Amino acid sequence: MQQQTTIESAMTRAVELAARGLGRTAPNPVVGCVVLDAAGRVVGEGWHARAGGPHAEVMALAEAGDAARGGTAVVTLEPCRHTGRTGPCTGALLDAGVDHVVVAVPDPTKAAGGGADLLRDNGIDVIEGIGHEAAAHGNRAWLHAMATGRPLVTWKLASTLDGRTAAADGTSRWITGPQARADVHRLRAQSDAVLVGGATLRADDPHLAVRDIDGAVQPLRVVIDSRAEVPLTARVLDDAAPTLVVVAEGADAARLRAADVDVLAVPADLAGLDLAALLAGLHERDVRSVLLEGGAHLAASFVAADLVDEVVAHIAPTLLGAGSPVLADAGITTITEALRLTTTDVVRLGDDIAITATVRREH
């Protein structure tokens, strides 16, 4: 087999390739593959670019051609063994004549899993676990959705250094600078759905579509509007991207449906909509990642329901001292109940800072 350092660098590259599929492959995972020839040279690269399109292994093997024979396929996710909209990747690897397959993350699904064992049964040397942490992180939305039956929820917020999203008089544009605002469009482009509440819709009339990113696949725009009162003139109902309006069961949504607006009705009580049911409904619609852009109260509802998985905070070096808080009452009454997160990334965006953190949960 090739030198370990070569395999590790190839896996790093495969993870980078997989990231090109973020926001494009749902309901499938993102996957990257690098093929090395028998001498350890890179002869093929590929990534899963869209659902129904070629898988990463197939793309990389096609580029490698005969040079793959006797070589190594380095892939971020265990090759599938089932036939869906495309053929099984295990079959493609066997046909290509590779001697070794390196897998970062096992496939947890019953339909596609077991590919590593099939390859071993056919005489291919399979090594698992190299690059696991980075590959799993890059594919965290899909892995989370497979494990829980609901999309990964990332709460995106923008606030001042003292945790305000608007001044005391209600003014809020712009708290963060142009680089942070541009980063929001990157986050949208990497998400399957963008979610806001009715209060944000009424206050800001947001558009929620991706701008200024070439080739971006527009995410599903999701608006929570319990009483089905969203005006048909709302910007979110234009044809720039698909839109789903979520209403309470029993709400009169005939006006919306008559205008060909896609509507999802979920259970509700005095506390509001059943957010778990909302996420389950999105999962059934092949959504694997949700970017929550709602205001303080909607974010608090998701936090209180333990449905926030990740936070991306754009923090401006600005002080207001008064005004709207970034998070409303989430039912946390003492420091021991505080929602604890683990920082995974810190990036400077002009004068602002972007902090990405994941919620700690006991497993």
Asked if residues 256 and 230 have their Cβ atoms less than 8 Å apart, the reply is: yes
Find the radius of gyration of the CA atoms of the chain: 22
Closest CA to 208 of 226, 190, 222: 222
**From 8, 16, 45, 57, the catalytic residue:** 57
Distance of alpha carbon 142 from alpha carbon 126, whole angstroms: 23
User: Quick one: which H or E segment has residue 7?
Assistant: helix 4-19
User: Quick one: which H or E segment has residue 128?
Assistant: strand 125-128
Sort strands 220-224 and 193-197 into parallel, antiparallel or unpaired. Answer: parallel
Alpha helices by DSSP H, the chain: 4-19, 56-64, 89-96, 115-121, 132-138, 140-148, 178-189, 198-204, 254-258, 275-284, 296-304
Cα dist from 220 to 144, 255, 265, whole Å: 19, 21, 16
Distance of alpha carbon 354 from alpha carbon 361, whole angstroms: 22
Let me know if 78 is a catalytic residue. Answer: no
Q: Which amino acid is at 144?
A: H
Handedness of CA 324, 329, 330, 336 (dihedral sign): positive
Report the catalytic residues. 57
